[in-house]
Chains A and B, each alone.
Chain A
Amino acid sequence: MQKLVLLGDEAIAQGAIDAGLSGIYAYPGTPSTEITEYVQRSKKANELGIHSQWSANEKTAMEAAIGMSYAGKRAMVCMKHVGLNVAADPFINSAITGANGGLIIVSADDPSMHSSQNEQDSRFLGKFAMLPILEPSNQQEAYDMVHYGFDLSEKLKVPVLMRITTRMAHSRSVIERNTEVRQQNKINIPEDSHQFILLPAIARKRYKKLLQDQVIFEKESADSGFNKYFDGKDKSIGIITSGIAYNYVMENYPERIIPYPLLKITQYPLPERMILKMYEECSELIVIEEGYPLIEENLKGFLELGIKIKGRLDGTLPRDGELNPNIVGIALGFKDQKGPEIPEIVAQRPPALCNGCPHIDSFEALNEAMSKYSAGRVFSDIGCYTLSALPPLKAIYSCVDMGASITMAKGASDAGLIPSVGVIGDSTFTHSGITGLLDCVNEKTPVTIIILDNSTTGMTGGQPSAATGKIENICKGLGVEEEHIRIIKPLKNKTEENIRIINEELEYNGVSVIIPTRECVQTLNKRMREKLKK
């Protein structure tokens, strides 16, 4: 046994290394990024030859992990919740193919959208795929459940989804680590050579098996010991809670003695017998879960028959946003507490682009060039540069999902809004901008695409970008005309020249790509510091 102070993310990574992981696949995304970074930094993982390099996007990561599982080894895929949308095709289909080597998908949800476009709940996609789901409530459980998750995946022969939320991912606590590192699996391809061929005739059979196996998954949930039923004397209400929300319930009882029966859900499918027991012995139920009301909807059903069920759907808890001990306390009938109000003079301090950031110079030139045209023509994407939506730049009009800048500019151009501009980051471009640019080239759509090449994935903390050194050639390869691929230096003293170049390309009736190229000042500083050390 060894004691370590770890973030939830790090506990998952350490758990995976210790449980005989052979490869982790991921694309960065808050709050999941630190899982992969931990494996990348781990000496042990390097010694063991565990794969940990970033993938181009979540879909390629998911598919590579399925491939590793096919080969018989244990693989983990990590992403933020919206990444699971990108990976949804292979993810849902992996439930039908099943797994060979243990396969865990970690999806990190971000309720209250601390740094995301939405607060979707990954459990719904897990349920949609009909896969077992694990939802740890603390760092120790996260560590332990990775080992269990690999075993479960290998026993049931299906991938397993682990759902965490921001507070689980980014909260630090002590864990006890099992220092015996389990051996990796040997290469061992599936016995059934058809298992991974989803031709209709095979897929139909495998889908039936998945349906039949639901009973086994449910039995695992009831028997694994991770779902816990605590008795309570007062049966006027029963509490069903899951994941991190369990901690907020406990926080409201300082002696940790709860008068009501409590069911803690850590594993899905929902354990029916345990829920039935609570249903039968309590006069009412309250469901306290982080994210969307998945458990609550399941219990309540459309017709709302039977005993009263309180939770997010009837307003006992807010329908959206992150829970906290106070919100949960109020729902449990406790009086709320608050310190003094925030004094009125306290000003907002929104995040901003760093001083000297190359994006600032790119947008200043773009704003100047666009000033000739009516507003609302610049479609953008997700990354540091999304902050250009705020004052003082106020340069962009959209940010929907990774890659959507290029394709939305195309759609708007198709509609007749010419010129239309798409502004996308380098990492976002290789994540999911390339195919959209190909669409533009194939139709010779009049669009001006600006690919901000800062040699990094800035937003998520400066991971290497798969695009570095390749963007120009990718564009050429896609068929963008060479004379309309313009590389510029986003610097104050080049602004005039840059405005002129942007203007020229805005006027071109076809696909133009402008690539402002200058390194992110954060990664530049980091490199310089490391160089000085040596």
Chain B
Amino acid sequence: MKKDIILAGVGGQGILSIAAIIGYAALDSGLFVKQAEVHGMSQRGGDVQSHLRISDKEIASDLIPSGKADLIISIEPMESLRYLPMLSDEGWVISNTTPFKNIPDYPDINEIYNIIKSLKRSVLIDADNIAKELQSPKSANMVILGASIPYIGILFEKFEKGINSLFGKKGEELVKLNILALKAGLDAVKN
């Protein structure tokens, strides 16, 4: 088993929480994990990415080789396209539909959707709306994570445990909301 995952988004959108939960789930499943994060300058509303590698064999490089990523998980639609050169022939793109427009020349969103849909394997999911319906607008990143679970290949329960370990200190309510969001994301791609 090997899954090389690019996590993409804009600074402040919560890709590090996604990374931490997948990392937890993978370790709890007895897998090896390496995760290269971006800290510093790029957090000021710039594009951010994280390379997350999980495998049943020891992992050498902290960076995923280009053309080898199994998954691009993106909290922002345009950002999902920025990392296409990383994607393998068999790879999936799983992206949120809600654009984050903090630049003057943000492209036509429909064109972005069309490009994502034209990829060999892609899933577009309206995570922000799903999260809002759950009265938990801040959990859009957990909806995206939920939608990615079938493609990651680790049991749902492991992610639940991950959420517990990450948010446990911040109270039961937050844990519950995040797990609901996770489930809603998973259901959205199952249907």
Contacts and interface: CB of A to CB of B under 8 A. Distances in A.
Contact of B11 (A170, A250, A339, A351): A351
B102 A251 contact: no
Contacts of B11: 351
Interface stretch (A186-194, A310-318, A324-332): A324-332
B109 to A, nearest CB: 10
Interface in B108-123: 108, 111-112, 115, 119
B42 A115 contact: yes
Interface string A330-345: 0000001111111101
B41 interface: yes
Given A247-B61, A250-B60, A339-B67, A174 B36 contact: no
Contacts of B65: 251, 324-326, 329, 337
Interface residues of A, number: 48
B50 to A, nearest CB: 9
Number of chain B interface residues as a range: 35 or more
A387 interface: yes
Interface stretch (B76-84, B128-136, B145-153, B177-185): B76-84
A428 to B, nearest CB: 15
A258 to B, nearest CB: 11
B66 interface: yes
Contacts of B33: 5, 172-174
A345 B108 contact: yes
B141 interface: no
A167 B82 contact: no
Contacts of A34: 39
Contact of B105 (A339, A340, A347, A352): A347
Contacts of A460: 40
Interface SS, A side: loop
B36 A171 contact: yes
A29 to B, nearest CB: 9
Contacts of A197: none
A351 B85 contact: no
A187 B79 CA distance: 55
A347 B102 contact: no
Given A172-B37, A339-B85, A324 B46 contact: no
A247 to B, nearest CB: 5
A387 B102 contact: no
Contacts of B35: 171-173
B61 A325 contact: yes
Contacts of A30: 39-41
Contacts of A348: 103
Contacts of B37: 7, 170-172
A352 B67 contact: no
A250 to B, nearest CB: 4
Interface in B30-60: 32-47, 58-60
B88 A339 contact: yes
Given A30-B39, A30-B40, A351 B45 contact: yes
A353 interface: yes
Given A324-B63, A351-B11, A346 B81 contact: yes
Contacts of B107: 345-347
A370 B61 CA distance: 50
Contacts of B5: none
B66 A347 contact: no
B151 to A, nearest CB: 16
B62 A459 contact: no
Q: Among the interface residues A30, A349, A352, A459, which one has the most CB atoms of the partner chain B within 10 A?
A: A349
A394 interface: no
A82 to B, nearest CB: 13
Given A339-B91, A340-B85, A345-B115, A172 B39 contact: no
A114 interface: yes
B86 interface: yes
Nearest to A248: B61
B86 to A, nearest CB: 6
B33 to A, nearest CB: 7
B10 interface: yes
B186 interface: no
A354 B41 CA distance: 12
A343 B81 contact: yes
B81 to A, nearest CB: 5
A31 interface: yes
A342 B86 CA distance: 10
B87 interface: yes
Contacts of B89: 339
Contacts of B59: 173
Q: Among the interface residues A114, A251, A387, A459, which one has the most CB atoms of the partner chain B within 10 A?
A: A251
10 contacts: A31-B39, A173-B33, A336-B67, A337-B65, A338-B66, A338-B67, A341-B85, A347-B106, A354-B45, A387-B44
Given A115-B40, A338-B66, 10 more contacts: A167-B63, A247-B60, A256-B58, A326-B67, A337-B66, A339-B86, A339-B91, A342-B84, A345-B108, A345-B111
